[in-house]
Amino acid sequence: MAEVKFFGSADMPLEMHKVKIIQKLNLRPIDDRLAAISEAGNNTFLLKNRDVFLDMLTDSGSNAMSDRQLAAMMVADDSYAGSETYYRLEAKLQEIFGMKYFLPAHQGRACEHLLAQSLINKPNMIVPMNYHFTTAKAHISRFGAEVAEIIIDEGLAVKSDNPFKGNMNLQKLRDLINARKDDIPFVRVESGTNLVGGQPVSMANFRDITNICRESGVISVLDASLLADNLYFIKARDEAYKNVPILTIMREIGSLFDIIYFSARKLGCARGGGICLHREDLMERIRELVPLFEGFLTYGGMSVREMEALTVGLDETLDMDMISQAPQFIKHMVDELSAMNIPVVTPAGGLGCHLNAREILSHVPQEKYPAGALAAALYIVSGIRGMERGTLSEQRNKDGTEPMAHMELVRLALPRRVFTLSQVKFAIDRINWLYQNRHLIGGLHFTEEPKILRFFFGKLAPDSDWQLKLAEKFKTDFGESL
């Protein structure tokens, strides 16, 4: 985002792109929305997009693509083996991370599967990480290992002014390595830590973690899915990197880690994924699995058109106008909501604006899924689809008990270059109304609960008729308005 000061109003985000293609949106009347959320079992993942106005579920595969990306798709080489498209992508990744090897995969969780299967090679292993991501944890657990979350204490504080809340606690990492070095298949660091509010990791922390790993011979892995936001925050919040080119920062990060994997649905604004590595032995171990689970080594389950778009998308990640757009919009939303005293995660992170459902719905106990209830309520009053990121997104323990999440958040993702400022202002307005009427919102309970990744397709019902009452109040206050 260019440094633009305004004359007549406070500073606000300014789009450094223009709209060339649009998709028509629907904002259905509130009674239709009530019916839609009920049919979806109060799970926003199960809403049909035709019933959604602003889709803030995720930034995964839903970022706007550039004219350059679309143009590149036309030159894709669709040879099964040896495609030129693959070599262009490989060269781009080698350029930005300085890593010799690249293995393609169809998306981020496929990389997690390949890493877990090839590196977790004995029972009772443990994977230290700053914080888990749902699919990463599910794959690690599937191969019998457990995760150890060793994020700094402030990472779990909803309100904070720590600029790098995604940092790992280095002492805890040292202690774990000292105690269980032989049981650690790899250390996983997640940039732009998803489940704690898109919070970044500092360069110093990247450096310290990887030094500790190197000294003790433990493999270091970076999940770079949300690296674009993290790069922006390194430049914006670390004085030492303010004037360092983004490419230099990426290459420094690439020089630190043994392995970098990413979801290209996020990094690079396309659809796909991949694993970059320095070490030949590790590459060979993982490579064996690619043709088995993903596809031949020069496409790995990705469409070649998406791979061309990804190559350009990665190149565009080197542009500050590009990587600053979403964080600036998120900051605007967080600042406006904070000014209204509405509890949100601070400081503003990447990925989206995160509402603190635990505090907003302090009258709804955690066993009744306050974040899920708030996400359903927000959809009813606005047509906005957010994502529950709280206890519903956890898995049950082996003994059937339910772990309560550290945070109960509703994530309102702002996919890159997708929404306009007036749409963000509409979201702020409806959240404000909902906050004023929060006492009307009740809890939820499961009616169908899948065993794995239950938040994707589990179904829930409201504990009472609170949703009808909420809709009635909306009609009283807004009349005929959608």
Ligand X SMILES: Cc1ncc(COP(=O)(O)O)c(C=O)c1O
Answer yes or no whether residue 354 interacts with ligand X by CB under 6 A. Answer: no
Alpha carbon 331 to its chain's center: 16
Q: For the sheet with 146-149, list strands across it.
A: 101-105, 273-277, 259-263, 220-223, 187-190, 126-129, 146-149
Query: Nearest residue to ligand X, using CB?
Result: 108
Contacts with ligand X, 431-470, as mask; x by CB under 6 A: ----------------------------------------
Region near ligand X per CB under 6 A, out of 6-14, 260-268, 306-314, 441-449: 260-268
Check: CB of residue 176 under 8 Å from CB of residue 325.
no
Q: How far apart are CA 119 and CA 201, in angstroms?
A: 24
Check: CB of residue 433 under 8 Å from CB of residue 344.
no
Region near ligand X per CB under 6 A, out of 103-111, 172-180, 202-210, 421-429: 103-111
Report in angstroms how near the CB of residue 115 gets to ligand X at its nearest.
Answer: 11
Q: How far apart are CA 358 and CA 364, in angstroms?
A: 8
Q: Which residue has the tokens 């303010």?
A: 242
Interacting residue with ligand X among 149, 223, 294, 388 (CB under 6 A): 223
Catalytic residue among 86, 97, 102, 133: 133
Structure tokens at 428: 């702020």
Catalytic residue among 67, 80, 420, 425: 80
Q: How far apart are CA 423 and CA 414, in angstroms?
A: 11
- In degrees and rounded to multiples of 5, residue 471 shows phi and psi of -65, -40
Maximum distance among all Cα pairs of the chain, rounded to whole angstroms: 66
Restricted to residues 53-72, the positions that interact with ligand X (CB under 6 A) are 60
Bridge-partner residues for 263, per DSSP?
A: 273
Interacting residue with ligand X among 141, 169, 210, 225 (CB under 6 A): 225
Interacting residue with ligand X among 190, 229, 308, 336 (CB under 6 A): 190
80 is catalytic: yes
Helix ranges (DSSP H) in 317-369? 320-339, 357-360
Answer yes or no whether residue 44 interacts with ligand X by CB under 6 A. Answer: no
H/E element holding 89? Answer: helix 84-97
Number of residues that bind ligand X (CB under 6 A): 16
DSSP 124: T
DSSP 147: E
87 is catalytic: no
Check: CB of residue 402 under 8 Å from CB of residue 394.
yes
Q: How far apart are CA 226 and CA 196, in angstroms?
A: 13
Region near ligand X per CB under 6 A, out of 18-26, 128-136, 285-293, 445-453: 128-136
Query: What is the sign, positive or negative, of the torsion defined by CA atoms of 63, 64, 69, 73?
Result: positive
223 is catalytic: yes
DSSP 351: S
Answer yes or no whether residue 265 interacts with ligand X by CB under 6 A. Answer: yes
By beta-carbon proximity to ligand X, the closer residue of 191 and 382 is: 191
Catalytic residue among 134, 208, 251, 279: 134
By beta-carbon proximity to ligand X, the closer residue of 361 and 412 is: 412
Answer yes or no whether residue 107 interacts with ligand X by CB under 6 A. Answer: yes
389 is catalytic: yes
Interacting residue with ligand X among 133, 143, 241, 419 (CB under 6 A): 133
Region near ligand X per CB under 6 A, out of 133-141, 207-215, 239-247, 354-362: 133-141
Q: How far apart are CA 466 and CA 16, in angstroms?
A: 43
Structure tokens at 432: 């404000």
Interacting residue with ligand X among 226, 228, 375, 471 (CB under 6 A): 226
Report in angstroms how near the CB of residue 351 gets to ligand X at its nearest.
Answer: 8
- In degrees and rounded to multiples of 5, residue 444 shows phi and psi of -130, 160
Report in angstroms how near the CB of residue 14 gets to ligand X at its nearest.
Answer: 27
Q: Which residue has the tokens 């749409």?
A: 423
Half-sphere exposure of 424 (CA within 13 A, CB side): 27
Catalytic residue among 97, 257, 455, 474: 455
Provide the 3-class DSSP secondary structure of residue 273. Answer: strand
Interacting residue with ligand X among 63, 69, 130, 194 (CB under 6 A): 194
Report in angstroms how near the CB of residue 435 gets to ligand X at its nearest.
Answer: 27
Report in angstroms how near the CB of residue 107 gets to ligand X at its nearest.
Answer: 3
Contacts with ligand X, 372-391, as mask; x by CB under 6 A: --------------------
Region near ligand X per CB under 6 A, out of 96-104, 220-228, 242-250, 400-408: 220-228
Structure tokens at 62: 């839903």
Give the DSSP letter string of 430-455: HHHHHHHTGGG---EEEEE--SSSHH
By beta-carbon proximity to ligand X, the closer residue of 86 and 133 is: 133
Catalytic residue among 88, 266, 358, 416: 266
Answer yes or no whether residue 416 interacts with ligand X by CB under 6 A. Answer: no
Interacting residue with ligand X among 263, 317, 391, 467 (CB under 6 A): 263
Catalytic residue among 59, 223, 229, 315: 223
Report in angstroms how near the CB of residue 323 gets to ligand X at its nearest.
Answer: 16
Binding site for ligand X (CB under 6 A): 60, 107-109, 133, 135-136, 190, 194, 223, 225-226, 263, 265-266, 273
Catalytic residues: 80, 133-134, 223, 266, 389, 455
